[in-house]
Structures are given as C-alpha cells and as structure tokens.
Structure 1
Amino acid sequence: MAQTDPVQVPHRDQEGDGTALLIIDMINCFDFPGAEALQPAAEAAADAIERLRAEFEARGWPVVYVNDNFGEWHSERSRLVERALEHDNPVTQRLRPRADDFFIIKPQFSGFYATNLAVLLPKLGVTRLVLTGIATDICILFTAADAHMRDYSLWVPGDAVAAEDPERNRWALRIMQDSMGAETAASAALSLDDWLAKLDKSKSPLNE
C-alpha cells in the first residue's frame, strides 16, 4: 500500500494571554493638510514609542505596524517605507520597521477595517494591545473602538500618541478611557509590567 503524505493541519490560534505593540501610521510623509501641526507632536511621541518598541523586542513580543496606504492601492510595505524616507522626516527614520516586525496596510481609519489584523492577533495569542502613533482623535480612536468590541485589553500611553490639536488629543484619550476601559497613563509614569499587573489584579476572582 502506498504511503500517503500526512494531512497538513493549518496553524490554529495560539493559546495564552500575549501582548502586542501597535504602531499606527508613523510611516508617514507628513504631506497632508494639518501635517505641520501634527509632525512636532508625532516626533515627541516617537521618543516613547522607541522605548516601548525596545522593550517589546527585548521580550520577544510582537510589534505590529498598522499603516495607512494613503490612497496608493498598489503599495506594499517596502514602497510605503521607501516613499516616507524620501521625505527625510525623523519620525520614519527612527521608527522604520525591523525585518521581523509585522506590517498591516489599512485603507481606512481603523486598523481592523478590511485588514487581516483581526486574524493575525489571535494567531499570535494576543489579548492585550498597546496602541501608539497618530492621530489620537482619528485612527487611534477608531482602532481602539474596534479592539474594545473584540474584548482586547487596551493601553494607549498618553505620551506615545499625538494629534494636530492638544485639546482633541485629550478628548480622544478621555473617550478611550471612559468608554473603552483603556489605560491612558503615559509610559513615563506607568511601566509595561505595572500595567500588566493591574490587568491581572482586575481579573482576579476577588475583584469580581
């Protein structure tokens, strides 16, 4: 009897309670209306994002870039990065993705809309998300709302996101905190370990 090849079982969702860092729209040419107001705040946010990315890399935890296609429907990762670098802006230079980072291209505000992010995260065993990038009152807010509806625990560090207007930045952070249960403390004031400990404590049977 001829030997047959074993049936290939597709890779299923990983078990666990993993955490991923999402870097949203920081691969950017800053050539849109309002960019002059946003870019300085984005550069300041890049400081915190760099620190968080280094910590995730040291732990071997996933870093996921979620980036707009800026209307370039034929674009893919390398073309988006190359085009942003041509504009010689320090944000993309500092935060250009590593070879092992994941890269999701989105066509609209939310990182979950018409992308494979909702498939990728369960495959990685992720249930907790740290959202960083721009703009707090648009793409961060919409992504957080979709993540909240999917029961992800959220941390949106106030020093790792930026918007064109400081008041709208504060407004969006309040919405995410009050309506989505997101932690919004700055990464300079709350460590990754402390946030995870707060989540574990909140899920303890003694707090139910």
Structure 2
Amino acid sequence: MPKQPLIVGNPVLVVVDMQESGDMPVEEVGIPHMAGYADRIANARQLIAAARAAAIPIVFFQEVHRANGIDFGRELDGVEGPHCIDGRPGTPLHPELLPDFDGPNHEFHIVKRRYSGFIGTEFEIVLSGLKADTLILIGGLTDVCVHYTFADAHQRDFYVRVVTDCVGGSSQYRHDAALDAMEYLQTGAMRTTDEILAAFAGCRRQGGSGASSTNPVLEGAAR
C-alpha cells in the first residue's frame, strides 16, 4: 500500500508509560531498558508542548500493578521481574511529563495493567469521544507496550505513528526489531520528533484538530 499522510483526520498524542523508572537501574525496577532516557524525555517535552499549542488531545498511560501481584498474569514468565508496583519508587509518571487537567486542552491519565493500552482500560471510549483517527505513540518499551498498543490500534483501523527518537526498548536489538515489525503493518509509520513537530505546527496553523475544538465530551471518563 502507498505511504499514508503523517496525520489523517484527528490526531491524538499517546504517551506510553513514561514513568520515573525509565532511568533507574534494572535491579531496582525489574525491567531492562535502553540508555538515553533523558534525551527521550526532552523530545517528549517538546512534543507535549507542541500538541498543547495545537489543541491536540494527549493521553498519558501509566502501568501500575498491585503489590500482591494478582494482575501480572503471564507478564513475569519472560525476562521481566516485578515492576511498576503501586506506591513504590519508579512507578509514578515522570515529573516533567504530567497531564494538565486545568488547562484548555483535552488530556487524560489512564492506568493500565497490561502491555496494550486497549486491554481493560477506557482508551477506546476516550478515542471514540475525541473522534480520533491518527495515534502518535511515544514512550516505552518499544518492543512491549508501544508495540502491543500499536498492533491493537492497527487492528481497530487507526492510523498509527511511532516517534522513533522518543521511544526506547528493552534492548537496542529488540527496539529495532519492533520498529521494523510496526513499519511492516503501516508503511511510513516510523517518524522523527522533528517530523511530528512540523506536523503539529501545521495543525496549529489550521486551527487545531477537529476534536479538540469541540466542547469536552468525556467528563469523568478518565483522568
């Protein structure tokens, strides 16, 4: 299929699990991760600011598990150890990347228990209310939560983009393999921060995304 435009219809920026644990030692947080988290945080800050300036909705995902482990399921069958435990260091959202519930933009905080943002959450309700068409994913891990959220969005007929210099994997090899797998599903899905910033600036000149210019439609649905 031919490469689709970067943004089709109404875009939503999706911040996947950019939590304090991203730059903590694996021994403390239970998950291996690539270096360079500070650079990804810096890119994420730019993208979030640009989305707000263009009135593009933002969804902030946070992976959280109960201390008794009842909601891990099969997550611990592989390399990962216990991680993102409620109330423990590393689990909160990164302090530089927090939703602004008091501003004019549509922003949502959704807690998830599984890799995909679609499993057991209000994500689809939020996207339906926003009349979303294109999802722009940043965060981590590239080969886990980003990949599974991408695949589930693809199967629900969303256009999906991944900001390659604003996602990080459990290793460089797995990161690269996941990017290749996602590009296989949607040609042109892999984009850079600079490309997305330019696209958001274009949305701003056009008056923002269609969904964001409407009155709030999801009062109390997610936070």
> Same fold by TM (over 0.5)?
yes
RMSD, aligned CA: 3.0
Q: Which structure 2 residues correspond to residues 1-208 of structure 1 after superposition, within 5 A?
A: 17-29=9-21, 30=24, 31-35=28-32, 37-38=33-34, 40-71=35-66, 83=87, 92-100=94-102, 101-181=107-187, 183-189=189-195, 191-193=197-199
In 1, Cα distance between equivalents of 2:195 and 2:188: 15
Indicate how the Cα distance of structure 1 residues 17 and 179 shifts in structure 2: closer, same or farther if over 3 A, else same. Answer: closer
Letter in 2 for 1:58: A
In 1, Cα distance between equivalents of 2:127 and 2:175: 26
Letter in 1 for 2:66: G
Rg larger for: 1
**How many residues were matched structurally?**
171
| TM-score, L = length of structure 2 | 0.67
Give every structure 1 segment of 4 or more consecutive aligned residues whose post-TM-superposition deviation is greater than 3 Å. Answer: 28-31, 86-89, 189-192, 194-197
1:154, distance to aligned residue in structure 2 (A):
1.1
* Contact kept? 1:159, 1:188, Cα under 8 Å: no
Q: Identity, % of aligned pairs?
A: 23
1:169, distance to aligned residue in structure 2 (A):
0.7
Looking at both structures, which has the greater relative contact order when contacts are Cα pairs under 8 Å and sequence separation is at least 6?
Answer: 2
Higher helix share goes to which structure?
1
Q: Which moved more, 1:145-154 or 1:175-184?
A: 175-184
> Which structure 2 residue ranges, 5 or more long, are not aligned?
1-7, 69-83, 204-223
Structure 1, residues 25-47: CA drift from partner, whole Å, max 9, x if none?
11343542234x44x33322112
Name the structure 1 match of 2:76.
Answer: none
1:24, distance to aligned residue in structure 2 (A):
0.6
